[in-house]
Amino acid sequence: MNGEPARGSGARRRPLVIAHRGASGVAPENTLLAFHLAVEMGADMIELDVRCSRDGHLVVCHDPDVARTTNGHGQVHELDLDDLRRLDAGYRYSLDGQHYLFRGLGLRIPTLDEVLASLPPHIELNLEVKSAPGDGRTAEGHRIAACLAARCRREPALVERLLVSSFDMAVLRELRAGPAAAAPVLVISIAGDLAQIEAMRALGVVDVFTKPVAAGELVAAVRRALAER
């Protein structure tokens, strides 16, 4: 890697390379190993998923339940950090469906603090706040937003590395009102809700991710909103 920040570089003439949950095609997703491999492979940004443990720690895990990726069971928000640390985050990962080479290697569900401390400062982060109005855990998203805001208050330079994304406009609105206000935000829309477009403009959203089969009306509305921000 050249060590140059990707965002805001007028000299950059190539697409931004974003590693989804780290190098998740060759290593267990959302683990420090996957993130470090992504850096070695030349990623500019790492996308990761942030949830909150029962005792208030920000942890990196995509699913609400730990069963798909670990040897445990239970909802992340119902487990303390010590419970989560005991799980093997490489247990379920297999490249061929038959061999589980990452079991017992000490891979754990990392905290956001661990991720930030272990990655080079030029690597940018797309933090997806895992909360949506329909999943019954909107309060969890606001709790995560508050923790992120506190972290940015302590470390203002962190804002330069962040792209915050969420399905929940209220969570993004909360972040926009605090110390993380300068961080770009991304709205993730499953259904392509036109009612979100005006709110999106007010938030200064940098982009919208939606279904590739979105109707032309939605695409046109999104383009107008982004052009007018």
Catalytic residue, candidates 20, 36, 57, 122: 20
Q: Confirm if 21 and 47 have CB atoms less than 8 A apart.
A: yes
Q: List beta partners, residue 209.
A: 188
Q: Is 73 tagged catalytic? A: no
Cα distance from N-terminal residue to C-terminal residue, the chain = 32
What SS3 class is residue 1? Answer: coil
Q: Please name the amino acid found at residue 125.
A: L
> 131: closest CA among 146, 116, 119?
146
Catalytic residue, candidates 57, 62, 73, 142: 62
Secondary structure in 3-state letters for 74-90: CEHHHCCHHHHHCCCCC
CA distance 179 to 133: 24
Cα atoms in the 13 Å half-sphere on the side-chain side of 67: 4
Q: Is 20 tagged catalytic? A: yes
Helices (H), the chain: 32-40, 81-85, 112-118, 138-154, 169-176, 196-203, 216-228
CA distance 79 to 66: 10
Catalytic positions, written as ranges: 20, 62
